[in-house]
Amino acid sequence: MSDVQKMLANAREGRIADIARLLSLVENEDPEAAEIVRSTYADSGRATLVGLTGPPGAGKSTLTSALTAAYRQTGARVAVVAVDPSSPYTGGAILGDRIRMRDRFLDSGVFIRSMANRGVPGGLARATRRVVGLLDALGFDVVLVETVGVGQQDIEIARVVDTVCLLTIPGAGDDIQAIKAGVIEIADILVVNKADRPGADEAVRDFAKMLSLGATRTGWKTPVVKTAALEGTGVPELIDAIAKHRAWAEKSGEARRRSIDAMRSEIQALVRERVLRELASRLDRQGLDEMAVRVVDKALDPYAAVDALLESP
Ligand SMILES: Nc1nc2c(ncn2[C@@H]2O[C@H](COP(=O)(O)OP(=O)(O)OP(=O)(O)O)[C@@H](O)[C@H]2O)c(=O)[nH]1
Ligand SMILES: [Mg+2]
- Nearest-10 Cα torsion for 175, 178, 179, 181: 160
Question: Could you report the per-residue pLDDT of 16-39, keeping only the tens digit for each?
Answer: 899 999 999 999 888 899 999 999
Q: Average pLDDT in the 53-59 region? A: 87
Ligand 1 pocket member 51 (CB < 6 A): no
Q: Are 59 and 229 in contact (CB under 8 A)?
A: yes
In eight-state DSSP terms, residue 312 is -
Ligand 1 pocket member 179 (CB < 6 A): no
**Which of 28-42, 66-80, 273-287 shows the lowest mean pLDDT across its residues?**
273-287
Ligand 1 pocket member 60 (CB < 6 A): yes
Question: How many angstroms is it from 223 CA to the middle of ligand 2?
Answer: 23
Ligand 1 pocket member 126 (CB < 6 A): no
Which 3-state string (H, E, C) describes 130-151? HHHHHHHHCCCCEEEEEEEECC
Per-residue confidence (pLDDT) for residue 147, from 0 to 100: 86
For residue 59, the ligand closest to its alpha carbon is 1
Measured CA to CA, the distance from residue 15 to residue 9 in angstroms comes to 9
Given a cut of 80, whether residue 86 has pLDDT beyond it is: no
Per-residue confidence (pLDDT) for residue 93, from 0 to 100: 43
For ligand 1, atom 32, the nearest C-alpha belongs to 194
| Encoded amino acid at 126, one letter | R
Ligand 1 pocket member 211 (CB < 6 A): no
Per-residue confidence (pLDDT) for residue 66, from 0 to 100: 92
Q: Per-residue confidence at 209, pLDDT binned at 50, 70, 90? A: confident
SS3 content of the chain, % helix, strand, coil (to 5): 55, 15, 30
In eight-state DSSP terms, residue 117 is P
Q: Are 26 and 37 in contact (CB under 8 A)?
A: yes
Q: Tell me which residue of 70, 57, 62 sits closest to 242, measured CA to CA.
A: 70
Question: Could you report the per-residue pLDDT of 134-183, keeping only the tens digit for each?
Answer: 999 999 999 999 987 656 666 677 778 999 999 988 886 655 655 555 66
Phi, psi for 226 (deg, rounded to 5): -100, 125
Measured CA to CA, the distance from residue 44 to residue 36 in angstroms comes to 12
Per-residue confidence (pLDDT) for residue 196, from 0 to 100: 95
